[in-house]
Structure 1
Amino acid sequence: MREEWTVIVYICQCVYVCFCSIEDPDQKIAMLTQILEFGQTPRQLFTTPHPQRITPRFHNLSATPSLSSSDFSPVSPSMESFEDLTEESKKMAWSNMNKLTLQSCHKLHKEAVTDIAVTLSGDFVFSTSQDSTLKMFSKDGALQRSTSFSNMALSSCLILPEDKIVVCSSWDNNVYFYSVAYGRRQDTLMGHDDAVSHICWRDDKLYTASWDSTVKIWECVAAEISDNKRTPFNLIAEFEHESGVNTLDLSPAGTLLATGTKEGTLTVWDITSPLPLNQLTCHSGKIHQVAFSPDSRHILSVGEDSCFAVTDVQTGMLISTVHAEEEQRCMCWDGSTVLSGGLSGELSVLNLLSSKVIHKIPAHSGAVSCMWMNEQCSSVITGGEDKQIILWKPQY
């Protein structure tokens, strides 16, 4: 009670000082009239920030089967205002992954699809193939661009920030930079002695994995590449392996690198050191894909030995191995649930905690060769050896 009276006395003092400082008689009368009519509010009532508003959580997400640009967008604009709901929406999407339904199917390539990338706006999809072509098509399947860089297969692709440049790796040992605005190849990186199998990008650095048994990190500024100028590619790190590198993945923080080789060896690297942090042979054959968990504590790998292997990042120990009914070629996971594509063309939803397949979804008529999932986990695109690209969406 004493504190409240103190505040009231303080407010009255402020009003009196302010009132006495006015010399114009008309302004004094006007201010007095305002005080008598409406009261007087001091300039500052609070000295500490107001508690953050608690936004109500969504209980139901849109169940419409139609696809919009935001469905493909890695970060949907509608979700930016609800950052506290991002994890909840991801959990909901993964809990409904067994209800994945086909939205559309497109056959644009003449050979197996090897990788898929989607623009930040979600308006266009890019795909690479063993037919050596890069295709660009809209979400309704209308082909917009088709280009070829060499006579050999393109192995993977990604889109640089601002959606201006598409980067493609090839079995001809090169990496190609394609300008979306100009519709042509803008630059070429010739940095390996064998096929470039996989690429990724983070903070103006390009990571290239190759069958020449190396992974290389190149410094190249995205803005400079987009300016239609020849860009100097500076090699800043190189990681040596005992056999060809088939796949790689960066941790969410971008500080660790995981690589998988043709001989089944998984290696974890600190990108600032040429020496591996941990290394183990967790598959009896080629590793098709490796992926960090969202918390960077574990790495999931799938190989031609039909196994899912979970490795602890800190210790480098194999935590668990789950044997699948068939060879798995590609996958996405949230740390406990896996969506994978197999040799027969089926998609499988696997619970790693129970080591059981929850659901199987008929997809391609040949092996599922690649998979893309947006950051919200609300849209999935798969490519197969049947030359088809299929768009999927979990139903709620």
Structure 2
Amino acid sequence: MLRFSLLLLNLEEYYFEQHTAFHVQHQGSPEERKIRGSLKICSKSVIFEPDAISQPILKIPLRDCLKIGKHGENGANKHFAKAKSLGISLIFSQVYFIKEHNIVAPYKIERGKMEYVFQLEVSGKVEDVVETLLQLHRASCLDKLGDQMAMITAILQSRLARTSFDKNRFQSVSEKLHMECKAEMVTPLVTNPGHVCITDTNLYFQPLNGYPKPVVQITLQDVRRIYKRRHGLMPLGLEVFCTEDDLCSDIYLKFYEPQDRDDLYFYIATYLEHHVAEHTAESYMLQWQRGHLSNYQYLLHLNNLADRSCNDLSQYPVFPWVISDYSSPELDLSNPATFRDLSKPVGALNPERLERLLTRYQEMPEPKFMYGSHYSSPGYVLFYLVRIAPEYMLCLQNGRFDNADRMFNSIAETWKNCLDGATDFKELIPEFYDEDASFLINSLKLDLGKRQGGQMVDDVELPAWASSPQDFLQKNKDALESSYVSEHLHEWIDLIFGYKQKGSEAIGAHNVFHPLTYEGGVDLNSIEDPDDKVAMLTQILEFGQTPKQLFVTPHPRRITPKFKSLSQASSYNASMTDSPGRLQG
């Protein structure tokens, strides 16, 4: 059973190579002394995954290593003398124990000076592995983060330059190579470097480390849509979809050069021109206006066009809170008071809190902002999803879950915090309007801690009007598609994707966030100090990002039955009624 995943790495860390190895211990019977497993060499750590799942995975940060070298020379150790092979010795001050008995839980840490010895199955590789570890150790021990990053990047690029795509992986001998370049495959919180190759029939990605499989292959004929993406604020991303499901792409690639990304995009887009119609925000808007798209589908499409992706937690799809009543025994969707005011951002829903925020805003030097946190960030996404994605939370928070009282414990409590909290302005995610209620249930029986009242964190507490998690989601969906929301959703779109996102309109709508969260808010290429650049990028990615602006004029309202009279139809609607706006099935 494979327990290792890239989520065991630190943020911005790479997994380079693995070797079958034995962790040799000084105590126990001869059988117990040698634990067989896989030794993973990563850019900031050494990870040993034992074959036996009862044994914990070991993670040793390279910065905590005091000495790295060969072990077993000069008959230094009788176990190695018998084996007639060298081992790798790590002397360090800290080690993490992870997933013992394959249970996902906060990492256990042991501190103090220790030595671990690993014997490689292929003993001839010991010299090379020790050399690699010493080089990576030097990088980890550099004082400045920017210098660390620069050295690790140089090591990575050197490895990529020494390898190329294995053409034996082509599906057919008749395939014609179009282009090959270096890139990284992006999944939530991690990236995996390798080689991209595109032929006349297939797109391939071959990970440098062969993980999780030797090659990812996508048939061009299956591709339905492709999107250019910002990744880390740079125009380097490309996401490929082989279905109409906006929440599930088939591959997300981050390139090292914008030109490589653009060339690959152009090649696939040219291929798609003959097969698939392209959609714009305007064409989706027309379909939504006329009732051909549900509110849920339309919001998903807008998120996709605005660079939001489930593979990038700093730009995860954002959905609105639409219900404001979490205390009544019954939910009345015919009562406007049941709903949140969609013309205001979450931070402006409570007048008293807004008054305090505006006072601070007036006194603030330029550049001013009203809200010290965003409505969407990696931390908020995993706050909602911790029960189904605990390893992502442990990755984001260095092997820890959040404090039990700060967890996603109750729908009503979370809504109240968003209304009253001094720094809590978060919106929702698509899962609240989807079919799968598993994110509300602690089905993995995770130990998420004990609250101050003594109760363990378990399933999410639902409002009285929901009889079950499935019923809660169904009522959320009913609310999202209700006539009230259909009549007012354009107001929320103006705030998140539209003309009230920036400038004087944003100020008037009390919708001003930190300047770094906006597209174009900072030019990373203009920052010369590598330390400052790393710090800036980390801050931006952890804080969250505002979606790409899709509309610069007021978004028209939906033509619900109530608005279908000629007198209510806007001239904008009338002028665009001849556009095709047809959704591809």
Q: TM-score, normalised by structure 1?
A: 0.26
Greater RCO structure (CA 8 Å; 6+ sep)? 1
Q: Which has the higher strand share?
A: 1
Q: Which has the higher helix share?
A: 2
